[in-house]
Amino acid sequence: METVREWLNALRTGECSARDAVTTALERIRTVDPQLQAVIAIDPERALAQADTIDRQRAGGEDPGPLAGLPIGIKDVICEKDVECTCASQILKGYRPPYDATVITMLRRAGAIPVARLNMDEFAMGSSTDHSAFAITRNPWDTNRIPGGSSGGSAAAVAARMLPCALGSDTGGSIRQPAALCGVTGLKPTYGRVSRYGLVAYASSLDQIGPLALTVEDIALLLPHLAGHDPHDATSANLPVPNYPAALFQDLRGVRLGVPKEYFIAGLDPAVETAVRSALHLFARNGADCVEISLPHTEYAIATYYIIATAEASSNLARYDGIHYGWRAPESTTLDEVYSHTRRRGFGEEVIRRIILGTYVLSSGYYDAYYLKALKVRTLIRQDFTRAFDTVDAIVTPTSPTPAFALGEKLNDPLQMYLSDIFTVSVNLAGIPGLSVPCGFSPDGLPIGLQILAKPFDEMMLLRVGHAWQQLTDFHLRRPPVCATSFSRPTTHA
């Protein structure tokens, strides 16, 4: 019982009650998480109470929803009513939101049970999950390596089979990159597809919530319960939600796949290149039409991203000032001290760095040269994709230029860390959807991810290509060493 589909089957057949499901997930967390530190907090009482409600409903002949009893992990950046939400930051210590994020409301309505708050880079700023104020999450494939980030806790928890699925958030690759580095499947939906209401903002014009799971099929099962118009989010698209699981019944024949030449560059790890090239061969052999395309502004994406993201972040994170909620630096006696001490000591260094950078690019005299310039280059990057999708149905690239790097390796070299987002940030700038699926392993046994991109709101195409890929391969089913033996049976309680 590892994939969402397996969990749901067990729950539907009655092989496993919702209480059993929650208990099983909590036990796996207790067993595995001490080695990985993917989990920030659990609230067993709350999860079990929801499970019992579902079991009662089922016993009473009520339909408790299509995901009834499914345990899910929540990145600690998505609000659940009265549950501490820290964004892995000291400054939000003790903050309990008085409301649920829209995705939480939707998941609960479908019967899913949030069981754990998952670790991340502080305020989703990072690609390693070693920028957390509370714990360093480790990669299940090699505990001396980072799991990727910022949704590193979500990816590690799913990879280690603690939970069948998790929510992450993706501003510049924060779902796809950790999914790739941990060998799981992760989707960043089109900007506007999933409500951001209740997602603590890092960069509002780039942020999206998305699911991580073991298989594309699982993603297709979850997505209908996340996607859709939300009147609480003015940037939410008012479009119908397609029948995503239907994408699983289509094959690759006639699909035109674009391969951007700018993504095969110096710095690309040879193992990654080999894995991606062989994926392309396999696609071609199975009926897809692979063509080289050009996304000429790719090399400007990182610079554009770091200007726009930090500008928005400097404003979004200004509200953490020790007054209305969260942590206040002790012994601050004047208002000015409350502000400046709380913010100096409550934020980690990477967050401070980005706030200062963002403040700079918006400040008087620099706005046009940096922020406005970046908004214009963003237009060029979008146009690259629009043009590409005139001729192809999907674009296939590596997700990350390298497999997981060592813990702390890029901690003191922010620019090097930023550059590792090279293949993922353009997608957020363009607002298009992106999926990462496992596509191989490095000689060290580290997972490698393949990124699939499509037109805005064409998540169906991603699921189609991704699922077809997983029908041809088994990388997504391989287990990391921390859980070498499978968790096959649920824990049942008399």
Partner 1 sequence: MPDFAPVIGLEVHVQLNTATKMFCACPNRFGDPPNTNVCPVCLGLPGALPVPNAAAIEAAVKAALYLNCSVSSFSKFDRKNYFYPDLPKAYQISQYDLPIGTRGSLEIEVSGTTRRIGITRIHLEEDAGKLVHAPGASLVDLNRAGTPLLEIVSAPEIFSPEEAYAYLSSLRLLMLYLGISNCNMEEGSLRCDANISLRPAGSSTLGTKVEIKNLNSFKGVQKALAFEIKRQSSLLATGTPIVQETRLYDAATDKTLSMRSKEEAHDYRYFPDPDLVPMTFSPEYLARLRDNLPETPQHRAQRFVSAFGLSQYDATVLTSDPALASYFEDTIAAGASPKLAANWIANNLLSALHQTSTSIGACKIRPPQLAALINLVETGTLSSTSAKTVVFPAVFEKGIDPNAVVAEMGLAQVSDTTQIDQWVVDAIRANPDVLDSLRKGKVKAVAKLVGSVMQMSRGKANAALVSQRIAAILKDMHGIEISG
Partner 2 sequence: MITPETVAYLARLARIELNETDLARFVPPLQEILAYVAKLNELDTSQVEPTAHVLPLTNVSRSDDPLPSLSNAAALQSAPCTDEGCFLVPPVIE
Q: Which of residues 231-270 bind partner 1 (CB under 8 A)?
A: 231-235
Query: Is position 171 an interface residue for partner 1 (rule: CB under 8 A)?
Result: no
- Rounded-to-integer distance, Cα 405 and Cα 426, Å: 22
Distances (CA, A) of 355 to 127, 128, 410, 462: 17, 19, 19, 34
Backbone angles phi, psi at 375, to 5 degrees: -65, -35
Between 56 and 319, whose beta carbon lies closer to partner 1? 319
- Rounded-to-integer distance, Cα 310 and Cα 67, Å: 37
Whether residue 107 contacts residue 71, with contact meaning beta carbons closer than 8 Å, is answered with: no
Q: Residue length, the chain? A: 494
Q: Which residues in the 295-354 window bind partner 2 by CB under 8 A?
A: 297, 299-300, 302-304, 306-307, 314, 318, 321-328, 332-341, 343-344, 347, 349, 352-353
Give the Cα-Cα-Cα angle 74, 75, 79 (nearest 5 degrees).
Answer: 75
Query: Is position 355 an interface residue for partner 2 (rule: CB under 8 A)?
Result: yes
**Least separation in angstroms between CB 359 and partner 1:** 7
Query: Is position 407 an interface residue for partner 1 (rule: CB under 8 A)?
Result: no
**Which residue among 128, 150, 169, 195 is the active-site one?**
150
Report the candidate in 123, 48, 39, 114 with the shortest Cα–Cα distance to residue 80: 114
Distances (CA, A) of 263 to 25, 117, 438, 478: 39, 34, 18, 27
Between 253 and 319, whose beta carbon lies closer to partner 1? 319
Torsion angle (degrees, nearest 10) of CA 337, 339, 344, 349:
-170
Per DSSP, what are the bridge partners of residue 438?
449
Assigned token pair, 404: 């997981």
Query: Is position 118 an interface residue for partner 1 (rule: CB under 8 A)?
Result: no
Query: Is position 78 an interface residue for partner 1 (rule: CB under 8 A)?
Result: yes
Site string for partner 2, 153-192 (x = CB under 8 A): --------------------------------------xx
**Least separation in angstroms between CB 197 and partner 1:** 5
Assigned token pair, 160: 């280690």
Query: Is position 107 an interface residue for partner 1 (rule: CB under 8 A)?
Result: no
> Is 150 labeled as catalytic in the residue annotation?
yes
Between 343 and 467, whose beta carbon lies closer to partner 2? 343
Among 31, 53, 250, 359, binds partner 2 (CB under 8 A): 359
Site string for partner 2, 54-93 (x = CB under 8 A): ----------------------------------------
Query: Is position 401 an interface residue for partner 2 (rule: CB under 8 A)?
Result: no
Among 359, 383, 471, 491, binds partner 1 (CB under 8 A): 359
Residue 412 CB coordination number (10 Å): 9
Whether residue 190 contacts residue 436, with contact meaning beta carbons closer than 8 Å, is answered with: no
298 DSSP 8-state letter: G
Query: Is position 281 an interface residue for partner 2 (rule: CB under 8 A)?
Result: no
Query: Is position 405 an interface residue for partner 2 (rule: CB under 8 A)?
Result: no
Q: At what angle do helices 301-316 and 349-362 cross, to 10 degrees?
A: 100
Catalytically active residues are: 75, 150, 174
Residues that bind partner 1 (CB under 8 A): 78-79, 85, 87, 92, 95, 97-99, 101, 196-201, 203-205, 231-235, 311-312, 314-315, 318-321, 323-325, 335, 339, 359, 362-364, 367, 371
